[in-house]
A and B are shown apart, each in its own frame.
Chain A
Amino acid sequence: MINPPELKFKSWFQGASLFWPIVGLGTLLLFNLVFSPSFFHLEIREGHLYGTLVDIVNQGSKVMLVSIGMTLVIATGGVDLSVGSVMAIAGAAAALLVTKVAFVWVLALSLGIATAAGVCNGILIGYLDIQPIIATLILMVAGRGVAMLLTGGQIITFEDPALVYIGNGHFLGLPFTVTIVVCVLVVTLLVTRKTAVGLFLESVGDNERAAKFCGINVPWVKVLVYACAGLCAGIAGLIATSNIKAADSSRVGEMKELDAIFAVVVGGTPLTGGRFNLIGSMIGALLIETLTTSMYDLGVSPAVASVPKAVVIVAVCLLQSEKFRNRLRGLVGGRVQA
């Protein structure tokens, strides 16, 4: 493979499709710069960095993690509605296990359950050909029931320092959640952009039949992405549970699937699959979190803050639709994007 460096760089960051998410995030930050100057205030206390921006990244870590998995799923032309419920299951399992077994086992088991849930989705979708929306809807509905059953409908609190550290600790002066997100992101980027796996995902999403004829094991690829989405949701569930030092099965991860889909779409990954942009999804997730935080700063109640979210999502859809037309016109010029 002979790739000029600039082309390689482009394949990592997918040039133009990052333009709109960055413009959106930039506009929002600019807005905050003008209207609430304290927004950019950062300070170091006891060796840790504090400030609104750090809070945004810390709070946004859950959506960022979930949207990493969601990006891969959407790249194959699917969607995963069950991530919120999987978060709740992982959180409930961790809170139950933490007093009983060693911490390594807590991590292994709760993340294992989350991954297994993803594998179930993958089997339904990959091997039994069930539509992704409906297959994951099953786990979305039943999964929260399972999580509530695990905790017996109660909110289970815990004090275990290791589990509390996941969502509240600091590492290198930054919240530990940042480290988690960066690790997961880097690993995913390496696997998808440095190996053929990324290409497999895109070809399955672009044209499943063609991918099959090319010798790609399509069902297996699907199981892989849904397992990955489950694992990411599991990690996010541990963070969410750790944040409040309690497993609240009925609330943890509620509506997170929609936030994640939102982040992915805003980040330039089309719902139709065939292309994906992990960095874009991260920017999308940060955009949502910044939007929410800005609303708090302006004194808008969190419930009403969903209105600007709605406006953003429709605006992004429209922009992409416009782009779609431009691309159609561009096709005459012979520029075909894979």
Chain B
Amino acid sequence: MKKLRSSPHLPLFITLVVLAALYSTASILFHGFFSGSVAANLIGDNAMLGIAAIGMTVVILAGGIDLSVGAVMGFTTILVAVLVQQHHVPPVVAMGIGLALGVLFGLAMGFLIDRFDLPPFLVTLGGMLFARGIGFKISSESVGITNPIYDRLSEFALPLGGKAFFSAAALIYIGTFVLGIVVTHWTSFGRNAYALGGSEPSARLMGVPVGRTKLLVYAVSGFCAALAGVVSTIYMGSGNPSLYVGFELDVIAAVVIGGTLLTGGVGSQVGTLAGVLIYGTIGSALNFYGQLNSSWLRIAIGGLLLVFILLQQFLSRVKRAT
């Protein structure tokens, strides 16, 4: 127990306990909640949140923040939809263009942040306004996608036995998650990001390529946001520039609930997955309860955020005291 209390994995551990507690409470309260199909849908329905959160985790680990995520997602959905629907670009090419632009966009923001030492908060705020505006410039209305490849993608279902199945969105999320784990925890880039978030001057002295890491971190986030946008087009079968307004804050909330410290340097992709699932569990529990009212979801998420932050604060104080 003592070992656990001083372990850096304690926030993650608590997050997992909360997830298990929430899920089992919901399973006891609501008939039919504890089923493979609800669990599989939890992953599919929260794929957009989860994919964006993977990129956000990397940015926050490196001590930054990315407020442009929601806007980049909205931009990508409308870009892909218009390319496929009005310009008859093959979907795969359109998705590729969307992803490439997301990466470029992230690189541009990373460049400004790194080269001119600008505050990430403001640069990505600018990025958010920019991407949102350009999205509306492409089309101010929702564009539906009717394309055989898209039909096949949205109807795709990988049976898991019983009534449960993974949709294309869920599979993409799982794939990205595995990739995210590899990149964050098993590459030198990931370690550099941790070092950078821990202490920038120390990282610099250790010889971490600070500039390149910052650039890449925002590129990763831009890629994840664009991918989340692409998944959204598959999930909804349409693109809309006004989607995902303020979504970046949900993403940040999920990452923080997952035990990643906003000061950088501490956190993990597994924690973020748990954070996303906690978010999703509350959402579907409210859904089962018949309270589709988003106000309760917001209050619950706010309350959870508060609890987790206080907990992290308490733990770091305990650690300092010992």
User: Which residues of A does B touch, CB under 8 Å?
Assistant: 79, 81, 124, 128-131, 133-135, 137-149, 153, 254-255, 258, 261-262, 265, 271-272, 301, 303-307, 309-311, 313-314, 317-318, 321, 324
Bound CA–CA A57/B263 (angstroms)? 38
Complex partner residue of B122 from A133, A145, A265, A305, CB under 8 angstroms: A265
Shortest A110–chain B CB gap in Å is 19
Shortest B272–chain A CB gap in Å is 15
Say whether B118 contacts A318, CB under 8 Å. Answer: yes
Question: Is B212 interfacial (CB 8 A cutoff)?
Answer: no
Say whether B126 contacts A133, CB under 8 Å. Answer: no
**A306-B305 contact in complex given A153-B293, A317-B123, C-beta closer than 8 Å:** no
**A142-B301 contact in complex given A133-B262, A304-B133, C-beta closer than 8 Å:** yes
Bound CA–CA A105/B137 (angstroms)? 46
Shortest B79–chain A CB gap in Å is 15
Inter-chain contacts of B297 with A (CB < 8 A): 145
Shortest A268–chain B CB gap in Å is 14
8 contacts between A and B (CB under 8 A): A124-B309, A133-B121, A138-B306, A258-B125, A306-B130, A309-B126, A311-B126, A314-B118
Shortest A84–chain B CB gap in Å is 9
**A142-B303 contact in complex given A134-B262, A137-B252, A304-B133, C-beta closer than 8 Å:** yes
Q: Apart from A146-B299, A271-B121, A314-B112, what are 11 other A-B pairs with CB-CB below 8 Å?
A: A128-B310, A130-B313, A137-B252, A138-B305, A142-B305, A144-B298, A145-B294, A261-B122, A272-B119, A309-B129, A318-B118
Bound CA–CA A141/B297 (angstroms)? 9
Say whether B137 contacts A307, CB under 8 Å. Answer: yes
* A-B interface pairs (CB < 8 A), number: 137
User: Which residues of B does A touch, CB under 8 Å?
Assistant: 65, 112, 116-119, 121-123, 125-130, 132-134, 136-137, 140, 241-242, 245-246, 249-250, 252-253, 256, 262-263, 293-299, 301-303, 305-306, 309-310, 313
Bound CA–CA A65/B112 (angstroms)? 30
Complex partner residue of A306 from B123, B129, B246, B294, CB under 8 angstroms: B129
Bound CA–CA A247/B311 (angstroms)? 35
Bound CA–CA A129/B261 (angstroms)? 14
Least CB separation from B122: chain A residue: A317
Bound CA–CA A261/B123 (angstroms)? 12
Say whether A131 contacts B263, CB under 8 Å. Answer: yes
**A317-B129 contact in complex given A130-B309, A141-B249, C-beta closer than 8 Å:** no
Shortest A93–chain B CB gap in Å is 15
Bound CA–CA A271/B122 (angstroms)? 9
Inter-chain contacts of B310 with A (CB < 8 A): 128, 130
B112, B253, B306 — most chain A CB neighbours (10 Å): B306
Say whether A317 contacts B313, CB under 8 Å. Answer: no
A144, A145, A148, A324 — most chain B CB neighbours (10 Å): A145
Bound CA–CA A35/B242 (angstroms)? 30
Shortest A136–chain B CB gap in Å is 11
Shortest B30–chain A CB gap in Å is 21
Say whether A145 contacts B302, CB under 8 Å. Answer: yes
Bound CA–CA A125/B219 (angstroms)? 32
Shortest A89–chain B CB gap in Å is 12
Bound CA–CA A254/B241 (angstroms)? 17
Bound CA–CA A225/B140 (angstroms)? 40
B118, B129, B313 — most chain A CB neighbours (10 Å): B129
Say whether B313 contacts A129, CB under 8 Å. Answer: yes
**A317-B305 contact in complex given A129-B313, A131-B263, A146-B295, C-beta closer than 8 Å:** no
Inter-chain contacts of A313 with B (CB < 8 A): 122, 125-126, 129
**A139-B302 contact in complex given A145-B294, A304-B137, C-beta closer than 8 Å:** yes
Say whether B117 contacts A301, CB under 8 Å. Answer: no
Say whether B116 contacts A321, CB under 8 Å. Answer: yes
Inter-chain contacts of A146 with B (CB < 8 A): 295, 299
Say whether B241 contacts A303, CB under 8 Å. Answer: yes
Say whether A306 contacts B309, CB under 8 Å. Answer: no
Least CB separation from A148: chain B residue: B295
Least CB separation from A131: chain B residue: B262
Say whether A317 contacts B298, CB under 8 Å. Answer: no
**A141-B293 contact in complex given A133-B262, A314-B126, A317-B118, C-beta closer than 8 Å:** no
Inter-chain contacts of A265 with B (CB < 8 A): 122
Bound CA–CA A317/B129 (angstroms)? 15
**A307-B134 contact in complex given A138-B305, A141-B301, C-beta closer than 8 Å:** yes
Say whether A314 contacts B123, CB under 8 Å. Answer: yes
Inter-chain contacts of B140 with A (CB < 8 A): 301, 303
Bound CA–CA A313/B250 (angstroms)? 24
Say whether B295 contacts A133, CB under 8 Å. Answer: no
Bound CA–CA A272/B127 (angstroms)? 20
Shortest B267–chain A CB gap in Å is 13
Inter-chain contacts of A271 with B (CB < 8 A): 119, 121-122
Complex partner residue of B305 from A134, A147, A148, CB under 8 angstroms: A134
Bound CA–CA A318/B117 (angstroms)? 9
Least CB separation from B112: chain A residue: A314
Bound CA–CA A67/B250 (angstroms)? 24
Inter-chain contacts of B127 with A (CB < 8 A): 310
Least CB separation from A146: chain B residue: B299
Say whether B299 contacts A145, CB under 8 Å. Answer: yes
Bound CA–CA A262/B128 (angstroms)? 13
Shortest B252–chain A CB gap in Å is 7
Say whether A142 contacts B302, CB under 8 Å. Answer: yes
Inter-chain contacts of B246 with A (CB < 8 A): 254-255
Say whether B118 contacts A321, CB under 8 Å. Answer: yes
Say whether A149 contacts B295, CB under 8 Å. Answer: yes
**A149-B123 contact in complex given A141-B249, A303-B241, A304-B133, C-beta closer than 8 Å:** no
